[in-house]
């Protein structure tokens, strides 16, 4: 009789005790590979919001808040209009190469941003960035959704989205580099990292082999509904995505400037406080929201909409404090709570879409949602800059942004998603 323990028996978390299937490992490998892409996707676009003071010294047109808002907004408009196209293409071609190509182009554009010497060049580069970055999110999220089903989908999407918030937080580092070294160095270094990672991704990322082996008609009848029911739900979901984008882009693009004006912070400090407080809490929010949503979804088809609506309600309350709180500490707390609420919402947008749209239309559906959400940001970003030039403080503008967030929370409660692949493991 054996009197000794094997190595696997001695290790409490040995793979033999907790076997993981090959398909599960592949599913989580896709999340791990795409996480840095999500991070770079937002880092490269968001750095611009933290480097206003440095860039306006070299390019005098940027001394106007309205012009600077236009520079940020032109990216959003192009990104918005190209997002549906990106989703349409992602539903019809190999998503691996679409993602690799998108990353390579926007990273090259980021590198070139550091060489620009006039406003016209910056505007054209931001347009090119908008086109290339619009190709990624629908493709990346639909690829993850195909690998992860009901039991892990929200958590997988949430972990991926946490990369976005790390990218936003690191955008504050762009302000630090701009102040301590130069804004050109910030753009150049991030561009080089993206080009290098694109090469890595080309070797290791894989398309879902059986992505075409799905049918749509049973899903449309899963709860006794049909195409008309799906379209009603999708229209409500678009509104739920677009309305909170108004305060969302206001915070992303103008919170550093608000901190500079209200509390006399320099560029480095305002950028770091704004991005780390908001995005750090959002990182926690998407992970908690994803795990909680998967748990509740096993018990109710409305589990994900409940979590999403709670995040929207939290956003609608704390954004008022974000603008009007009396002290710096209160503003940072509100920023963190706002980010956490946004994370609860953001982790569930694609999973809820998967309960509304058939699999072969998910990338296109998310691309259309991205269009309306980003167009809202493209409208509000220069508009808030213009209001500021005309004497309206950002604090007041932020407080009014609570209204669309509250409306989105109410609509999310009214949404009636269908029961799709609930409880199926990855």
Q: What CATH number is attached to the domain comprising 323? A: 1.20.1250.20
Reported pTM: 0.75
Residue 299 falls inside a structural domain: yes
Residue from 86, 89, 116 nearest 191 by CA: 116
Residue 419 falls inside a structural domain: no
Say if CB 362 and CB 145 are below 8 A apart: yes
Residue 422 falls inside a structural domain: no
Residue from 397, 242, 407, 406 nearest 322 by CA: 397
Residue 60 falls inside a structural domain: yes
Q: Is the pLDDT of residue 359 over 80?
A: no
| Greatest distance between any 2 Cα atoms in the chain | 87
Give the whole-angstrom CA distance, residue 238 versus residue 372. 7
pLDDT of residue 426: 40
Q: What is the pLDDT of residues 50-100, one digit of tens each?
A: 787 788 888 878 878 778 878 887 888 898 889 999 999 998 889 999 999
Residue 5 falls inside a structural domain: no
**Within 13 Å of residue 162, how many CA atoms lie on the same side as its CB?**
18
Which residue reads 């209160």 in tokens? Answer: 330
In the three-class reduction of DSSP (H, G, I as helix; E, B as strand; rest coil), residue 1 is classed as coil
Residue 2 falls inside a structural domain: no
pLDDT of residue 261: 83
Residue from 120, 129, 134, 128 nearest 67 by CA: 120
Residue 19 falls inside a structural domain: no
The per-residue pLDDT of the chain, averaged, comes to 83
Count of structural domains, the chain: 1
Report the alpha-carbon angle 372-376-379, nearest 5: 135
Say if CB 267 and CB 52 are below 8 A apart: yes
Q: Give me the domain span that covers residue 321.
A: 25-208+219-414
Residue 144 falls inside a structural domain: yes
Q: What is the pLDDT of residues 135-189, one digit of tens each?
A: 999 999 999 988 887 678 889 998 998 898 888 778 777 777 877 888 888 889 8
Please spell the DSSP secondary structure of 137-168, one letter per residue. HHHHHHHHHHH--TTTHHHHHHHHHHHHHHHH
Q: What is the pLDDT of residues 301-322, one digit of tens each?
A: 899 999 999 999 999 999 988 8
């Amino acid at each position: 009789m054996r009197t000794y323990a094997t190595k696997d028996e001695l290790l409490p978390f040995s793979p033999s005790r907790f076997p993981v299937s090959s398909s599960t490992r592949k599913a989580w490998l896709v999340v791990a590979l795409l996480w840095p892409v999500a991070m770079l996707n937002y880092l490269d676009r968001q750095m611009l919001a933290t480097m206003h003071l440095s860039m306006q010294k070299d390019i005098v047109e940027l001394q106007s808040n309205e012009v600077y808002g236009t520079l940020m907004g032109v990216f959003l408009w192009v990104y918005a209009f190209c997002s549906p196209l990106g989703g349409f293409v992602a539903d019809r071609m190999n998503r691996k190469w679409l993602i690799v190509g998108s990353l390579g182009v926007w990273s090259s554009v980021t590198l070139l941003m550091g060489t620009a010497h006039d406003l016209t060049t910056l505007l054209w580069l931001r347009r090119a960035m908008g086109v290339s970055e619009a190709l990624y999110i629908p493709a990346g999220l639909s690829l993850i959704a195909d690998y992860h089903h009901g039991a892990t989908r929200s958590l997988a999407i949430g972990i991926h989205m946490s990369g976005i918030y790390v990218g936003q937080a690191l955008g504050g580092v762009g302000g630090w580099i701009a102040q301590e070294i130069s804004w050109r160095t910030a753009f150049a270094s991030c561009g080089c990292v993206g080009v290098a990672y694109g090469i890595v991704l080309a070797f290791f990322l894989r398309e879902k082999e059986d992505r075409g082996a799905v049918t749509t008609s049973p899903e449309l009848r899963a709860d006794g509904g049909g195409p008309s029911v799906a379209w009603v739900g999708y229209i409500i979901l678009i509104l739920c995505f677009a309305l909170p984008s108004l305060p969302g882009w206001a915070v992303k693009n103008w919170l550093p400037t608000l901190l500079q004006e209200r509390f006399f912070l320099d560029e480095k400090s305002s950028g770091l406080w704004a991005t780390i407080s908001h995005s750090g809490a959002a990182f926690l929010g998407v992970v908690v929201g994803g795990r909680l949503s998967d748990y509740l979804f096993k018990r109710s088809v409305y589990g994900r909409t409940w979590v999403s609506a709670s995040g929207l309600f939290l956003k609608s309350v704390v954004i008022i404090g974000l603008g009007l709180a009396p002290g710096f500490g209160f503003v940072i707390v509100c920023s963190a709570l706002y980010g956490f609420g946004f994370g609860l919402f953001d982790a569930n947008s694609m999973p809820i879409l998967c309960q509304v749209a058939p699999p072969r239309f998910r990338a296109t559906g998310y691309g259309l949602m991205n269009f309306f959400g980003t167009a809202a940001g493209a409208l509000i970003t220069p508009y808030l800059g213009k209001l500021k030039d005309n004497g309206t403080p950002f604090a007041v503008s932020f407080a009014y942004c609570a209204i669309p967030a509250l409306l989105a929370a109410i609509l999310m409660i009214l949404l009636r998603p269908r029961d799709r692949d609930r409880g199926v493991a990855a």
